[in-house]
A and B are shown apart, each in its own frame.
Chain A
Amino acid sequence: MPKTLMDGSRISMPSVDLEGVSGDPVLTQVVVLDAREVERGSRAADCLRGRGADPRPAARIVERVGVSSESATLRDPSGLHACDNSPGPREADRRWCGGSYGRLYGGRLRDPRLDIGCRTADGGPMGFVWVEPRPDARFVVVAQPGYVEVYEVAGGLPVRIATTSDVDVERSRASFRVSEHDERGRLVRRYVLDAYVAG
């Protein structure tokens, strides 16, 4: 079981027992920011600059830090933007190793917008997607090798999750084993999300 998150902070446990979850839970960090007030040099500022997103009007940015992943998600008038990061190798000195854009149709994504541009510290493939939890879900849980990562739903935005397993670069696809839980930890739903790079 990991001892720290990607930014070096010590891991913590979720405040509730998660129904039907096997494996040690690791609570990921989440911060919600106003896109107009992000600090220079922050994750969010770097993401905004690099992806050409339009932060009007009063968009929120959700920053997340997991064991082997880091992301920023922004919703602007055209859709969702994500910047993805990992401890692995990347081109030159780029701050982010990947990212996604998802146009919204009736306020929802048409697909989870898989990004397989990032690598683990030892060069293995990684996948990032958005999930749109049910309205009563408070936690999104993703199975990882030897533990589970727990993401809190925040900012009214889809949740950017990552996996270090079941990523098939040759077929541009990845599978995520996911469960959603309410504020008391009760299981809302469980599913395998198969995602493909597209569009």
Chain B
Amino acid sequence: MSSARRFIGFLVAASCLAAAGTASGYHTQFVVENCNYAAPTPTSYITRDGSATVALRARHEGYQWAGGCWNDNDRDDSPGDPAGDPGTGGEGPDCSGFTFKVWRESTNESDAGYYQWGMLRHIHGPYTAARFKSGDGAPNVTLSKSTAFKMDAFASTSHIGMIYAKNADGTDQIIEAKGEAYGTNIWTRTYRGDSSYSGVRRTGWSG
């Protein structure tokens, strides 16, 4: 074997070892270095436009399984976290944590009041997509998908996304935390016509 081929072989082996090490012990410092556990600010009302603005700040900020903390610099500061690992400490929400925070909900499920959580407050909330789909929690109700509009949500047993805008062709622009490979953003979706999805509404909007 030539020395050049041996060197290439060494590089391949070293790359594989580096990748294996990354996969088994992966974590970022995003949550540790940036996030907090501050109390939320109770507010007296919630509006759909206001919540849309809150949701837009999470665009391009990544995705983290069980996560709920992000900044507003329009990039994922912990790209490529291993999917399904809540301990990687990365930036961004998951789908249900995103909905909880944008809907200004309480960790007390019997409380339908409004609580403003800071972007950097690391919080997921008590609901999974499946529980949102069932209308669990005092603030949440199920509703006919035909009546769902801006900042209502469509939920399946494994995913939830909020309506940013309704399209003329019956699809919707959904703002959602989609997955580690995609992050959090707005995509055109057909959840309204998908039988595995139900309509969910946060109650008490004042506008």
Q: Chain A residues with Cβ under 8 A from B24's Cβ?
A: none
A111 touches B86 (CB 8 A): yes
B161 at the interface (CB under 8 A from A): no
**Complex Cα spacing A116 to B107, Å:** 10
Q: Chain B residues with Cβ under 8 A from A98's Cβ?
A: 131, 136
B110 touches A100 (CB 8 A): no
**Complex Cα spacing A196 to B65, Å:** 9
Closest A residue to B127 using CB positions: A197
B131 touches A115 (CB 8 A): yes
Given A169-B107, A197-B125, A101 contacting B37 (CB threshold 8 A): no
Closest A residue to B108 using CB positions: A169
Residues of B contacting A: mostly: loop
A52 at the interface (CB under 8 A from B): yes
Q: Chain A residues with Cβ under 8 A from B66's Cβ?
A: 111, 172, 196-199
Q: Chain B residues with Cβ under 8 A from A113's Cβ?
A: 128
In the complex, number of A-B residue pairs with CB atoms less than 8 Å apart: 89
Given A103-B158, A113-B128, A198-B94, A91 contacting B136 (CB threshold 8 A): yes
Closest A residue to B138 using CB positions: A91
B130 touches A91 (CB 8 A): no
User: What are some 11 contacts across the A-B interface (CB < 8 A)?
Assistant: A51-B157, A91-B109, A100-B128, A100-B130, A111-B65, A171-B123, A172-B124, A197-B66, A197-B125, A199-B128, A199-B129
Given A101-B157, A117-B109, A199 contacting B65 (CB threshold 8 A): yes
Q: Chain A residues with Cβ under 8 A from B107's Cβ?
A: 169-170, 172
A133 at the interface (CB under 8 A from B): no
**Closest beta carbon of chain B to A80's beta carbon, Å:** 10
Q: Chain A residues with Cβ under 8 A from B159's Cβ?
A: 199
B203 at the interface (CB under 8 A from A): no
Closest B residue to A83 using CB positions: B134
Which residues between 151 and 171 of chain B lie within 8 Å of chain A, taking CB atoms? Answer: 157-159
Closest B residue to A105 using CB positions: B84
Contact with B along A159-193 (1 / 0, CB 8 A): 00000000001111000000000000000000000
Complex partner residue of B134 from A99, A111, A171, A196, CB under 8 angstroms: A99
Complex partner residue of A99 from B109, B110, B126, B130, CB under 8 angstroms: B130
**Closest beta carbon of chain A to B167's beta carbon, Å:** 26
A198 touches B128 (CB 8 A): yes
Q: Chain A residues with Cβ under 8 A from B138's Cβ?
A: 91
| B residues with CB within 8 A of A | 37, 65-66, 83-84, 86, 94-97, 107-110, 122-131, 133-134, 136-138, 157-159
Q: Chain A residues with Cβ under 8 A from B96's Cβ?
A: 197-199
**Complex Cα spacing A52 to B157, Å:** 9
B110 touches A89 (CB 8 A): yes
Closest B residue to A91 using CB positions: B138
Contact with B along A100-121 (1 / 0, CB 8 A): 1101000000110101110000
Q: Chain B residues with Cβ under 8 A from A55's Cβ?
A: none
B37 touches A172 (CB 8 A): no
A4 at the interface (CB under 8 A from B): no
Complex partner residue of B126 from A91, A169, A199, CB under 8 angstroms: A169
Most chain A CB atoms below 10 A, which of B109, B125, B128, B159: B128
Closest B residue to A169 using CB positions: B107
**Complex Cα spacing A52 to B128, Å:** 15
**Complex Cα spacing A172 to B96, Å:** 12
B128 touches A91 (CB 8 A): no
A172 touches B125 (CB 8 A): yes
